[in-house]
Amino acid sequence: MIRRRDERGSALVEVCWLGILLVLPVLWIVMSVFQVQRGAFGVSAAARAAARAYALAPDDASGLARARTAARLALDDQGVHGRAPEVRVTCTPYPSDCHQGTSVITVWVHSRVVLPLMPSALGGNRPSFALDATQTVPIGQFQEISSG
Amino acid sequence: MAEFPRRRDERGTVTMLIVGLAVVLLMMTAVVTDASAAYLQRQGLDTIADGAALTAADAGASGDEAYGVGLDTDLRLDAGIARAAVGDYLRRVGAYARYPGLTARVSVDAATQRVIVEVRAPIHLPLHVPGSPEHADVGATSAATVGLDE
């Protein structure tokens, strides 16, 4: 009888301590992993969309504007809101004229995912996870000659 | 007396349940992480295969038919030039450095005049889960052709 009284309530204590010490951190890890996964897929899709938009634009200036819009739309679609993604475009072998024939365009998209349930009160900026993706698109050698 | 052993056996079952739940959650997280890594590598290889196929189709079609035969046919592809263009493109975009062990297979379908590029690269899974493969390959296939607009 004595032993039975000693064991009373132990399940409740175990649930409280293990629940707080083990399950809550594990749940936070699961949430963070899914958040980062969503961001990674979003950035990957954004790079793909941005590169395609850039390659199909008539010239470099409008291409960059379209690429930025496409990247933002793609990230919005994936539920990654917040700051606009950073988009950089480089091309070889003509760095100043990306839409020339046989050029290879590389679009780099960079964004950040804020980790969940981390208040800014813990100091500095809210902890976030940096994500980036690149996409490469070649331009064909056969180009339509513009009027002029 | 028969009640006591059974009650002692049941001690700690809540602990086991909670620890088991945590272990299962962590393993599922590891599986999701590995699957994401594989998916992202496939996206990257897709990109490389797309670019390589486009470059190969573009380089392999010299465009001579447009002057000799006329514009009513697709451009004929030169398999040798297409194959060389794929190797050149992969080196140019740094595909071998980004995906060590990358292999590319190029074939030209004579009937449809398509270049088919198949790239494969081994993937290093970031987390190891019991039962996950030691060595895994991710591959992507892409095809391209050059057509003439009227």
**pLDDT tens digits along A60-86:** 899 999 999 999 999 999 888 877 899
pLDDT of residue A4: 55
How confident is the model at residue B128, as a pLDDT? 83
Give A8's pLDDT tier (boundaries 50, 70, 90). Answer: low
HEC secondary structure over chain A:
CHHHHHCCCHHHHHHHHHHHHHHHHHHHHHHHHHHHHHHHHHHHHHHHHHHHHHHHCCCHHHHHHHHHHHHHHHHHHCCCCCCCCEEEEEEECCCCCCCCCCCEEEEEEEEEEECCCCCHHHCCCCCEEEEEEEEEEECCCCCCCCCC
Euclidean distance between CA atoms B45 and B52, whole angstroms: 10
Work out the average pLDDT over A17-45.
89
Is B14 within 8 Å of chain A by CB?
A: yes
| Contact state of A33 with B33 under an 8 Å Cβ cutoff | yes
Report chain B's mean pLDDT, rounded to a whole number: 83
**B26 vs A contacts (CB less than 8 Å):** 26, 29
When comparing pLDDT for A14 and A32, which is higher? A32
Is the pLDDT reported for residue A90 higher than 70? Answer: yes
* Cα radius of gyration (chain B): 26
Please report the pLDDT score of residue B70 as a whole number.
65
Do residue B93 and residue A136 have CB atoms under 8 angstroms apart? yes
Reported as a pLDDT band with limits 50, 70 and 90, residue A148 is very low
B47, A48: Cβ pair inside 8 Å?
yes
- The answer to whether A113 touches A80, Cβ cutoff 8 Å, is yes
ipTM above 0.90, yes or no: no
Q: How many CA atoms lie within 13 A of B57 on its CB side?
A: 25
Assess whether pLDDT exceeds 70 at residue A123. Answer: no
Structure confidence at residue B126 (pLDDT): 85
Q: Cα angle vertex B147, ends B93, A91, to 5°?
A: 25
B15 touches chain A (CB under 8 A): yes
Query: Would you give the DSSP letter of residue B112?
Result: T
pLDDT: which is higher, B43 or B11: B43
pTM score, whole prediction: 0.81
What is the helix (H) or strand (E) element at residue B16, kind and residue range? helix B13-60
Query: Span B102-115, mean pLDDT?
Result: 88
pLDDT of res. B90: 92
- Rounded CA-CA distance B56/B109 in Å is 13
Res. B4: pLDDT tops 80: no
pLDDT at B127 over 90: no
Residue B6, pLDDT above cutoff 80: no
The tokens of A1 are what?
């009888």
* CA closest to A102 among chain B residues: B55
Residue B71 has pLDDT above 70, yes or no: no
The mean pLDDT of B25-41, rounded to a whole number, is: 91
With CA atoms as reference, the chain B residue closest to A45 would be B43
Please report where in the chains the tokens 């602990």 appear, as a residue.
B15
Q: Could you tell me if B62 lies within 8 Å of chain A, comparing CB atoms?
A: no
CB–CB of B22 and A106 under 8 A? no
Average pLDDT, chain A: 84
A99-120 pLDDT tens trace: 888 889 999 999 988 888 776 6
Query: What is the end-to-end Cα distance of chain B in Å, rounded?
Result: 95
Chain B: give the shortest CA distance to residue A127, in Å.
20
Tell whether the model's pLDDT for residue B86 goes beyond 60.
yes
| Residue B139 pLDDT | 94
Which of B11, B28, B59 is closest, CB to CB, to A7? B11
Token couple for B146: 């050059």
Amino acid at B64: D
* Contact present, B45 and B139 (Cβ < 8 Å): yes
CA B114 and chain centroid, separation:
20
Mutation to test the B interface, candidates A135, A137, A143, A144, most B Cβ within 10 Å: A135
Higher pLDDT: A67 or A142? It is A67
Amino acid making up residue B150: E
Q: What is the dihedral of CA A38, A115, B38, A55, to 10 degrees?
A: 50
Q: Which of B36, B54, B92 sits opposite A92 (nearest CB)?
A: B92
